[in-house]
Amino acid sequence: MRLDRIQVTHYRNIPQALLEPKDQLTVLWGENGQGKTNLLESIWLLTGGKSFRGSKDQELILRGESFGVIEASFNAQGRDQQLRLTIGGKESPRPGRRAVLNGVDRGRAASVAGIFTAVVFCPEHLRLVKGSPEGRRKFLDVALCQLYPGYLATLRRYTRTMTQKNALLKQYEITPDAGNLLDVFNRSLAQWGEELTLRRMEYLDQLRMVAGANYRDLSGGRENLEIQYLPSFRPGKLYETMTGLRDRELGARCSLAGPHREDMEFILSGQPAKVYASQGQQRSAVLALKLGEAAMAAKVTGEHPVMLLDDVLSELDEGRQSYLLTRMEEKQTFVTTCDPSAFSRTQGALFLVEQGRIREA
Ligand SMILES: Nc1ncnc2c1ncn2[C@@H]1O[C@H](COP(=O)(O)OP(=O)(O)OP(=O)(O)O)[C@@H](O)[C@H]1O
Ligand SMILES: [Mg+2]
């Protein structure tokens, strides 16, 4: 995967910007609030995914304008491709995020998912270690959706049926034939739930090795990272588990077993990271995981995703910074920073971002 050119118009605080990155490292440097993360986010949107800051479409458009455009040329799947993304406000003639790929209107931006691939690290991701299980499940689901198109369809079916089952549990006493209906839901949920958990476990089996190796190198061999999946049922036994939980589910009025109740745990040198990890260790663990996610994608799709690293070096000691700087030069990587001095040791191209404008420094 290689981004050759991106032109951004009326996006966040960027009236207009053009970036023609090199094959390896591009450093976006500037003071706080100048538009570095905005630029990184515009590259991420080429993946067809949602904003990694969870923003609504309207918030992505330069205030006072009704339309934003991101146009990019990149090499993917062995050929040069062009993608034009438009972001329209509610009142505009083309509302929402829409995509034109190689001149063909593809409708919603999400339909181009899997064409331009990227892995993003931003400070919000630090919550992966100490935050709620939901964030960790989402990490796995997002990665798996990108790798296996069928995963998203199964996840949607599972989630929809789960909502129906929970509604039934809330009105169980007043629903005719509730027992049979619950059984129908459980059978479907068991089938899809087994599929989702199996995929997650298979993925994690490999990711754990790659991320573990990354963490060892990042910490100069001093610490190690283990990742464990915490399933809510034994393989092949989800239906039985749900049936066994029937009374408890009726008491709780919600479904108590299946992929939506599962989690993964990070263990740093034998201690649960959730409780004991320091700031730098949390950051290292998430970075090891993100680098692992990219390597896994490269293995499955044959193409290494573009790396987008927002404010990545802070809180890391000299040794960890050096290791990351080396890794950054291996694949096409975009980083943001307020302090370019660490990057002077690299071959990276330096761009200055100032009040939503960008120029080579
Ligand atoms: N829709 C919008 N229209 C205009 N300005 C916006 C819009 N959305 C965000 N901004 C502004 O963009 C500015 C730059 O944001 P950004 O997050 O890119 O800064 P940054 O350079 O990454 O700074 P930091 O170093 O603090 O992370 C913010 O001050 C924000 O108010
Ligand atoms: Mg920023």
Residue 266: exposed, middle, or buried by beta-carbon count in 10 A (0-12, 13-18, 19+)? Answer: buried
CB-count exposure of residue 80 (10 Å: 0-12, 13-18, 19+): exposed
Is 2 in contact with 61 (CB distance < 8 Å)?
no
Q: Which fold has domain 2-117+303-360?
A: Rossmann fold (3.40.50)
For 196-237, what is each residue's pLDDT tens digit?
999 999 999 999 999 999 999 999 999 999 999 999 999 999
Q: What is the mean pLDDT of the chain?
A: 95
* Contact in structure between 235 and 194 (CB atoms under 8 Å): yes
Count other C-beta atoms under 10 Å from residue 147's C-beta: 18
Locate 136 and state its tokens: 């960790």
**Given a cut of 80, is residue 19 above it in pLDDT?**
yes
Q: Which atom of ligand 1 is nearest to the CA of 30?
A: 21
Parallel, antiparallel or unpaired: strands 79-88 and 357-360: unpaired
Calculate how far, in angstroms, residue 82's C-alpha sits from the geometric centre of ligand 2.
27
User: 336: CA distance to ligand 2 center in Å?
Assistant: 7
Ligand 1 centre to CA of 35 (Å) is 5
In this predicted model, what pLDDT tens digit does every residue of 294-305 receive, in sequence order? 999 999 889 999
Amino acid 51: pLDDT: 86
Residue type, 327: R
Rounded Cα gap, residues 325 and 348, in angstroms: 10
Class at the top of the CATH hierarchy for domain 126-275: mainly alpha
Could you report the per-residue pLDDT of 38-78, keeping only the tens digit for each?
999 999 999 998 888 888 999 999 999 999 999 999 999 99
The domain ranges of the chain are: 2-117+303-360, 126-275
- Of the candidates 74, 70, 73, which has an alpha carbon nearest to the alpha carbon of residue 303? 74
Pocket of ligand 1 (CB under 6 A): 12-13, 30, 32-38, 59, 61-63, 336, 338, 353
pLDDT digits (tens, 9 = 90+) for 307-348: 999 999 999 999 999 999 999 999 999 999 999 999 998 999
Q: Candidates 10, 28, 34: which one to mutate for ligand 1, based on the most atoms within 8 Å of Cβ?
A: 34
Q: Are 327 and 138 in contact (CB under 8 A)?
A: no
- Ligand 1 geometric centre to CA of 9 (Å): 15
Kindly provide the residue ranges of all beta strands, DSSP E only, lying in the chain, ordered along the sequence.
2-11, 14-19, 25-29, 67-76, 79-88, 96-101, 104-108, 118-121, 225-230, 263-268, 271-272, 306-309, 333-337, 349-354, 357-360
pTM of this prediction?
A: 0.93
- Ligand 1 atom closest to the Cα of residue 311 is 27
Nearest protein Cα to ligand 1, atom 13? 33
pLDDT value, residue 269: 95
Tell which residue, 360, 306, 339, 358, has the closest CA to residue 35.
358
- Residue type at 199 in one-letter notation: R
